[in-house]
Amino acid sequence: MTFGSRLHHAVSERGPLCSGIDPHAALLHEWGLPDSVEGLESFALGATEALAAECAVVKPQSAFYERFGSRGVAVLEQVIATAREAGALVLLDVKRGDIGSTSEAYADAYLDPASPIAADAITVSPYLGFGSLEPFVDAARKHDAGLFVLARTSNKEAPEVQDARGDDGRTVTATMLDHLRHLNAGAAPLGSFGAVVGATIGSSSDDFAFNGPVLAPGYGAQGGTTADLPRIFGAALPNVLPSSSRELLRAGPSASAMRDAARRTNDELRALLAQGR
C-alpha cells in the first residue's frame, strides 16, 4: 500500500491526531528525569508506548535525539520500532533539504526500509527549489513512503519567504501547493505527498485543499485550537493531521493519563469533522 493509503486507513481507524514525541529538556525535567541519554530513553519510550497505540501517526523530532549523539539516535531507532509495533505510522520530523547526491543519501537514510531509522514519512524543506526534492520523491515512490513539504509554517520569520509573490502573482506557498497537487494527481484515496501548514498561522489567501495530507503542527499547547482548524483549512479539513506534542506529553509520565489525553483530543477532532459533513 502507498503511504497515502496507509494513512487514510489509519486515520479512519484511530482518528486524525498526530502525536509528537519530542523530548525537550524542559519536559524531561517535568517528568523528573535527568537530561541524559538515560532520561531520553525513559521519556521517549514511555511516551511512545502510551501514545502509539492511540494515534494514527507519531512524529519524533529527530533533533531532540541527535543532540545526544549516536546513543540518542539509537533511542530514536527504538522509538520508531516501538511505534510501528503498536500499529502507528511514523512521521520523522527532520526537515531535510539539499541537492543531488546529498539528498539521495538523506532519502536512503530515512525512507529506505534497509535503514535502521527509516520511517513511513519525513518532513522536507523545498526552499532550495521544489525540484531539489526529486531524490526524496523518487525514494518515496520506490518505497511507498510519504513526504510532508514545508509550505506555510507558523514561525514569525516565515512570511519573508513563504508569502513572497512571483511574477505570476502567486505566493511561494501557493507554488509549493501546486507542486503537491501535481505529485498527487490521480492518487486514491489519498496522495502520499503532503504539506506542513502551521495550526497557529493567521489569515492566509492560500488554498490548502489538495489531494494529499496536511500536517498542522502547533495544535494544543502552542496555541492552535479546534476552532482554528476550519478557519485555516476550509475544504482541506478532512485531510488535516493536527499535531500535538507538549499538550499530550505534559500528561506524563503517567501512561494512562497520556492515553486519556490522546483519546479526548481525537474525540474532539472526530466531532469537528462530523459537523462538517
Q: Walk along the chain (277 residues) and give the pLDDT tens digit of each residue.
A: 999 999 999 999 999 999 999 999 999 999 999 999 999 999 999 999 999 999 999 999 999 999 999 999 999 999 999 999 999 999 999 999 999 999 999 999 999 999 999 999 999 999 999 999 999 999 999 999 999 999 999 898 998 999 899 889 999 999 999 999 999 999 999 999 999 999 988 777 889 999 999 999 999 777 778 988 999 999 999 999 999 999 999 999 999 999 999 999 999 999 998 886 5
Position 241, amino acid? L
User: Of 83, 77, 41, which Cα lies nearest the Cα of 62?
Assistant: 77
**Gyration radius of the chain over CA positions:** 18
Tell me which residues are annotated as active site: 95
Tell me the C-alpha distance between 176 and 163, whole Å. Answer: 11
Place of cell 484511530: 14
What pLDDT shows up at residue 67? 97
What pLDDT shows up at residue 225? 84
**Does the global pTM surpass 0.85?**
yes
Q: Cell numbers at residue 219, please?
A: 495544535
User: Of 226, 225, 222, 218, which Cα lies nearest the Cα of 269?
Assistant: 226
User: Of 251, 217, 223, 261, which Cα lies nearest the Cα of 43?
Assistant: 251
What pLDDT shows up at residue 248? 96
Tell me the C-alpha distance between 254 and 185, whole Å. Answer: 43
Tell me the C-alpha distance between 167 and 150, whole Å. Answer: 21
What pLDDT shows up at residue 227? 87
Position 265, amino acid? T
What pLDDT shows up at residue 277? 52
Place of cell 505527498: 193
Tell me the C-alpha distance between 208 and 96, whole Å. Answer: 22
What pLDDT shows up at residue 222? 75
Tell me the C-alpha distance between 174 and 272, whole Å. Answer: 26
Phi-psi region of 95 (alpha: psi -120 to 50; beta: other; left: phi over 0): left
What pLDDT shows up at residue 275? 83
